[in-house]
């Protein structure tokens, strides 16, 4: 049952040391670079966006191997992979202002429904990717956006049984499979979604950011 597998992945907690985090971070950066993306590690607000169309900005000191640095990079990368191709190179993927960024001019170029779905999918995909890299996922930085709309931030998983009962987890898994960002064994493919969204949901289809 895919929901059980996702639950397992997202609620796994174990100790990893600095070296394991550094190794996972390096592997993640290499996977990111395969897509032609750069990574800036800086707490300088000069970098306003989590995604400026070319680079991810990770709001952590340059040498940090914290869970937050890993979680943030995995999360931004997951957004890139999940974004509709038509929005992928817009500021913040056309989803509006990033969670930990100050780029208020990043426009929402699609419906709130699509934004919410992509957010949830990115959170789950980030957890799947980190699990694949040997990193546990019971960490707020990975969950926080997923939980935001629930007003839930302190424990994990959030109202899991309700989410399952409501079909939300099943919907997320089916969506990730449809987009080809995970395979049938719930492993990440690290391939970017090729399926474009329903044009009715997309308000600006040309002029890249
Ligand atoms: Zn997000």
pLDDT tens digit string along 166-203?
787 888 899 999 999 999 999 999 999 998 876 666 66
Instruction: Report CA(93)–ligand 1 centroid distance (Å).
Output: 10
3-state secondary structure of 57: strand
Looking up tokens 């960002």 gives 181
Instruction: Report CA(116)–ligand 1 centroid distance (Å).
Output: 9
What is the percent of the chain with per-residue pLDDT over 70, rounded to a whole number? 79
Q: What is the mean pLDDT of residues 139-167?
A: 53
User: Taking Cα atoms as reference points, which of 142, 145, 153, 158 lies closest to residue 118?
Assistant: 145
Instruction: Report CA(145)–ligand 1 centroid distance (Å).
Output: 6
The tokens of 200 are what?
């009715």
pLDDT in tens, 72-128: 899 999 999 999 999 999 999 999 988 778 888 899 999 888 988 898 899 889 989
Report the C-alpha gap between 90 and 106 in whole angstroms: 8
Residue 54's pLDDT band (cuts 50, 70, 90): very high
At CA 97, angle to CA 95 and CA 102, rounded to 5? 160
What is the pTM assigned to this prediction? 0.87
List of residues 6+ apart from 155 with CB closer than 8 A? none
Instruction: Report CA(21)–ligand 1 centroid distance (Å).
Output: 21
User: Taking Cα atoms as reference points, which of 87, 112, 107, 58 lies closest to residue 192?
Assistant: 87
Instruction: Report CA(19)–ligand 1 centroid distance (Å).
Output: 27
């Amino acid at each position: 049952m895919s929901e059980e597998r996702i639950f397992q992945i997202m609620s796994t907690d174990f100790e990893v040391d600095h070296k394991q985090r550094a190794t996972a971070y390096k592997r993640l950066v290499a996977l990111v670079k395969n897509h032609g993306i750069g990574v800036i590690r800086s707490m300088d607000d000069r970098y306003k966006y989590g995604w400026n169309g070319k680079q991810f900005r990770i709001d952590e000191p340059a040498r940090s191997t914290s869970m937050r640095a890993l979680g943030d990079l995995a999360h931004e990368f997951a957004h890139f992979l999940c974004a509709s191709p038509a929005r992928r190179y817009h500021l913040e993927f056309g989803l509006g202002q990033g969670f930990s960024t100050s780029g208020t001019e990043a426009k929402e170029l699609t419906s709130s429904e699509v934004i919410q779905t992509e957010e949830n999918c990115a959170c789950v995909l980030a957890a799947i990717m980190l699990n694949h890299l040997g990193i546990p996922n019971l960490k707020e930085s990975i969950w926080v956006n997923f939980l935001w709309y629930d007003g839930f931030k302190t424990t994990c998983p959030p109202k899991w049984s309700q989410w399952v009962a409501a079909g939300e987890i099943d919907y997320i898994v089916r969506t990730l499979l449809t987009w080809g960002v995970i395979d049938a064994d719930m492993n990440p493919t690290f391939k970017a979604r090729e399926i474009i969204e329903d044009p009715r949901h997309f308000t600006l289809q040309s002029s890249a950011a």
